[in-house]
Amino acid sequence: MKQATKSRKSVEYYVDGILQGNRVVLAQAITLVESSLPSDQDLASRVLEKTIQKSGNSIRIGITGSPGVGKSTFIEAFGKFLTRLGKKVAVLTVDPTSQKTKGSILGDKTRMPQLATNPDAFIRPSSAGETLGGVANNTREAILLTEAAGFEIIIIETVGVGQSEVAVRNMTDFFLLLMLPGSGDELQGIKKGIMEMADLLVITKADGENLPRAKRSQAEFQQAVHTLYDRAGGWIPKVLTASALLSTGLEDIHDSISKFISTKKQSGDFATNRSLQDIAHMHDNFQQRLKDEISNSSFLRGKFTEIEALVKTHALTPGEAGKKLLGYFQQYIQAKAPENTRP
Amino acid sequence: MKQATKSRKSVEYYVDGILQGNRVVLAQAITLVESSLPSDQDLASRVLEKTIQKSGNSIRIGITGSPGVGKSTFIEAFGKFLTRLGKKVAVLTVDPTSQKTKGSILGDKTRMPQLATNPDAFIRPSSAGETLGGVANNTREAILLTEAAGFEIIIIETVGVGQSEVAVRNMTDFFLLLMLPGSGDELQGIKKGIMEMADLLVITKADGENLPRAKRSQAEFQQAVHTLYDRAGGWIPKVLTASALLSTGLEDIHDSISKFISTKKQSGDFATNRSLQDIAHMHDNFQQRLKDEISNSSFLRGKFTEIEALVKTHALTPGEAGKKLLGYFQQYIQAKAPENTRP
């Protein structure tokens, strides 16, 4: 999404503001990262380059759960718990379905009213972008800037649409799945494969009348985790309960995360995982740029459509079609060659 | 893997042989598909092009299971059951770990001795290739040739290594998971996410002393399938038991597959799924060719290694690194431009 270039500042303005932990400047810099204007992208690159040595010093926690599970309420309660421990906490959201407007920015902030006004917290609404790849890329760069601004715990919330959980899993150190109290049969909403990505399962709304149901679910899910998932020699995810209303269960959740992180730091897995994520991010970014080359070219878009139609009618094998696509792609890149690179 | 060009025949030889259902010629044509020699690849393309209109008329069944589950024995028993129903059955294997040698070809055939000598069956040992992408591509083309040769049921066996199950799932109409009798706690060997890809679960070795255990597992897994997997309005996978030794349970398995296929054909999902698989195959093939461009260039391999090192030391953000990789890639493609495309 293109953004107006109104009042862009110098690289130093953004770098100094971020390193001083200024939340307004941080928000402005993230807007640069999300902009698709080439001038903004250049500026964003230079800001990232000058702050990257200060980034990386945080715990990155991914949080997901079906709609209605109480994600905002939980994150607000957990965020407040963390700031009371003296931590600086940021909340970013990956939502490939959101069209960023003034409205949704306000919407996001009012979802967590107490955290939004907390001086030790930073809440950033849904990251803009037209594809999940674009959104994920923007969020990864927003994480780096947020860390450079001194935030120590970065919560990445996913709305749980499409492959967004996988994207968030691949940019975080710890992945937490929120679930509603209820028996197995009712839990049809949990997407395939999400449970097994989790490092911790938390049953929300464990208060009042719900409490017995939450405790029953906890036992059932703990059983399911042990029975079905192979974590040979590895971390067995706990199943905990929490109430955002009563602020209960938050300490156990924090303990489970801390234990996971310190175990992984000791074994060296923490650093290895971060490094692998960076390399994967680089490859994803490269792939995204290749895709952009194709989708920005009407010549290539036309050829792809033409070839797809031939495959659908069995006039061309998929293998032959792939070969033709590569040919057209090379032809396009070669035609783009600047004069001065030619003999 | 390069293959000797010994005794390559004309396009017509392969096409005629395949269309007549000649299993020797079919095997020779699959060898062409698997060859990495450009002359063989050209020949393979022309054979595929001339037979593709005759392909597609089969049921493609993917079969997986942990080592020791008795895959070969099950496939042989099920294959014989199908040929007794008058069906022509082919068995192909996706094994990205296998180095194809004379030894393993013999090994594969002796794994299913009765099916190997059955005139209505065709057994092709592990597909050659150095990457899973390459192996999957070869297998997809082998399926097309096998169908053109008149085989009505194509069983694609996966050895269950790495992502090979996903690759096989994406080239078949129906996916069957074989499991050993035993309680949930013992089933640590089942890989995450495999169960939820299955359209049918079969507990093998349900005979003799194992029978009560197999029946208990059946009940447990049927419960797990219902509790944990959301197939809203869709197909709920059955859990069946079978004994290859006693040839029991095979009819129920065949019934479940037939019911699935006829339901999907009636709804139009069968054709839609095939069409989507073809388009995905085309895109995979294109991606594989892009990757080959990179791995075949020492210039690009060097640049990728150099940039990766900078990302690991935080000297470069992953996003900037992606941008540099695209630049080098374009430079490489442009340098390859044939003289006659230049002004």
- Chain B residues in contact with A142 by the CB 8 A cut-off are none
Residue A185 pLDDT class (50, 70, 90 cuts): very low
* Dihedral sign computed on CA atoms, order B149, B91, B87, B153: negative
Q: List, as one string, the DSSP characters of A51-63.
A: HGGG---SEEEEE
Best residue of A36, A272, A286, A304 to probe chain B, by most B CBs closer than 10 Å: A286
Classify strands A200-203 and B59-65 as parallel, antiparallel or unpaired: unpaired
Residue A183 pLDDT class (50, 70, 90 cuts): low
The pLDDT score that the predictor gives to residue A189 is 52
Reference B327, options A142, A327, A341, A133; nearest CA is A341
Q: In sequence order, what are the residues at sequence separation of 6 or more whose Cβ sits closer than 8 angstroms to the Cβ of residue B192?
A: A193, A196, A229, A230
Average pLDDT over residues B180-184: 71
Reference A151, options A122, A117, A109, A119; nearest CA is A122
Does residue A268 surpass a pLDDT of 60?
yes
- Higher pLDDT among residues B234 and A72, named by residue: A72
Does residue A252 surpass a pLDDT of 60?
yes
Average pLDDT over residues A205-233: 81
In this structure, chain A runs to a length of: 343
A146 backbone φψ class: left, alpha, beta (φ>0; ψ -120 to 50): alpha
Chain-chain contact of B284 with A187 (C-beta, under 8 angstroms): no
Would you tell me how many other CB atoms lie within 10 Å of the CB of residue A44? 25
Does residue B321 surpass a pLDDT of 80?
yes
Scanning the structure block, which residue is given the tokens 């996001």?
A108
The pLDDT score that the predictor gives to residue B99 is 47
Q: In sequence order, what are the residues at sequence separation of 6 or more whose Cβ sits closer than 8 angstroms to the Cβ of residue B318?
A: A140, A278, A279, A281, A282, A285, B311
Calculate how close chain A gets to B306, using CA atoms only, in Å: 12
- Higher pLDDT among residues A158 and B326, named by residue: B326
Q: What are phi and psi of A238, to 5 degrees?
A: -80, 160
**What does R_g of chain B's alpha carbons equal in angstroms?**
23
Least confident among A243-247, A275-279, B10-14, B38-42: B38-42
- Higher pLDDT among residues B209 and A106, named by residue: B209
Q: Cα(A73)–Cα(A80) distance, rounded to whole angstroms?
A: 11
Q: Is the ipTM of this complex over 0.90?
A: no
Does residue B4 surpass a pLDDT of 70?
no
Residue A153 · residue A88 · CB < 8 Å: yes
Calculate how close chain A gets to B213, using CA atoms only, in Å: 16
Does residue A107 surpass a pLDDT of 80?
no
Residue A67 pLDDT class (50, 70, 90 cuts): confident
Chain-chain contact of A307 with B224 (C-beta, under 8 angstroms): no
The pLDDT score that the predictor gives to residue B47 is 95
Pick from B196, B284, B289: CB nearest A193? B196
Average pLDDT over residues A13-30: 96
Does residue B1 surpass a pLDDT of 50?
no
Calculate how close chain B gets to A117, using CA atoms only, in Å: 31
Least confident among A30-39, A242-251, A285-294, B156-165: B156-165
Average pLDDT, chain A: 85
Nearest CA in chain B to A53: B314
Instruction: Tell me the two tokens of residue A288.
Output: 């995204």
How remote is the C-alpha of B78 from its chain's centroid? 18
Calculate how close chain B gets to A306, using CA atoms only, in Å: 12
Q: In sequence order, what are the residues at sequence separation of 6 or more whose Cβ sits closer than 8 angstroms to the Cβ of residue B111?
A: B72, B76
Chain-chain contact of A282 with B49 (C-beta, under 8 angstroms): no
* CA angle at B55 for the pair B168 and B20, rounded to the nearest 5°: 120
**Tens of pLDDT, residues B225-264:** 776 565 555 788 899 999 999 999 999 999 999 999 999 9
Q: Cα(B198)–Cα(A252) distance, rounded to whole angstroms?
A: 36
Chain-chain contact of A320 with B45 (C-beta, under 8 angstroms): yes
Chain-chain contact of A49 with B320 (C-beta, under 8 angstroms): yes
- Chain B residues in contact with A230 by the CB 8 A cut-off are 188-192
Instruction: Tell me the two tokens of residue B27.
Output: 């095997």
Chain-chain contact of A325 with B282 (C-beta, under 8 angstroms): yes
Chain-chain contact of A323 with B285 (C-beta, under 8 angstroms): yes
Residue B338 pLDDT class (50, 70, 90 cuts): low
Q: Cα(A298)–Cα(B334) distance, rounded to whole angstroms?
A: 20
- Chain A residues in contact with B55 by the CB 8 A cut-off are 314
Average pLDDT over residues B46-61: 93
Would you tell me how many other CB atoms lie within 10 Å of the CB of residue A159? 20
Residue A103 pLDDT class (50, 70, 90 cuts): very low
Least confident among A198-207, A230-239, A308-317, B334-343: B334-343
The pLDDT score that the predictor gives to residue A342 is 46
Least confident among A168-177, A327-336, B216-225, B251-260: B216-225
Least confident among A7-16, A161-170, A276-285: A161-170
Residue B321 · residue B307 · CB < 8 Å: yes
Q: What are phi and psi of A88, to 5 degrees?
A: -95, 125
Average pLDDT over residues B73-97: 91
The pLDDT score that the predictor gives to residue B55 is 92
Average pLDDT over residues B5-27: 91
- Chain A residues in contact with B56 by the CB 8 A cut-off are 314
- Higher pLDDT among residues B41 and B324, named by residue: B324
Upper half-sphere CA count for residue B64 (Cβ side, 13 Å): 28
Best residue of A317, A320, A328, A332 to probe chain B, by most B CBs closer than 10 Å: A317
Least confident among B44-48, B149-153, B190-194, B249-253: B190-194
Pick from A55, A184, A326: CB nearest B286? A326
Chain-chain contact of B319 with A279 (C-beta, under 8 angstroms): no
Sheet (strand A174-179) strand order: A121-123, A89-94, A153-158, A59-65, A174-179, A200-203, A238-241
- The single-letter code of the amino acid at B307 is I
Does residue A180 surpass a pLDDT of 50?
yes
Tell how many helices (H) and how many strands (E) occur in chain B.
Answer: 13, 7
Chain-chain contact of B330 with A333 (C-beta, under 8 angstroms): yes
B86 backbone φψ class: left, alpha, beta (φ>0; ψ -120 to 50): left
Domain B55-267 sits in CATH at 3.40.50.300
Residue A78 · residue A142 · CB < 8 Å: no
Residue B190 pLDDT class (50, 70, 90 cuts): low
| Single pTM value for the model | 0.73
**Tens of pLDDT, residues B92-148:** 988 766 544 433 444 455 678 889 899 999 998 766 666 777 788 889 999 999 999
Mean pLDDT is highest, among A81-90, A222-231, B154-163, for: A81-90
Classify strands B238-241 and B174-179 as parallel, antiparallel or unpaired: unpaired
First to last CA, chain B: 38
Please classify residue B232 by burial: count the beta carbons closer than 10 Å to its beta carbon, then call 0-12 exposed, 13-18 middle and 19+ buried: exposed
The pLDDT score that the predictor gives to residue A127 is 63
Best residue of B317, B340, B342 to probe chain A, by most A CBs closer than 10 Å: B317
Chain-chain contact of B319 with A184 (C-beta, under 8 angstroms): no
- Chain A residues in contact with B196 by the CB 8 A cut-off are 192-193
- Chain B residues in contact with A342 by the CB 8 A cut-off are 342-343
**Tens of pLDDT, residues B266-293:** 999 999 999 999 999 999 889 988 988 9
Average pLDDT over residues A46-69: 91
The pLDDT score that the predictor gives to residue A95 is 72
Calculate how close chain A gets to B269, using CA atoms only, in Å: 15
Chain-chain contact of B318 with A278 (C-beta, under 8 angstroms): yes
Chain-chain contact of A279 with B330 (C-beta, under 8 angstroms): no
- Higher pLDDT among residues A251 and A108, named by residue: A251
Chain-chain contact of A230 with B190 (C-beta, under 8 angstroms): yes
The pLDDT score that the predictor gives to residue B194 is 76
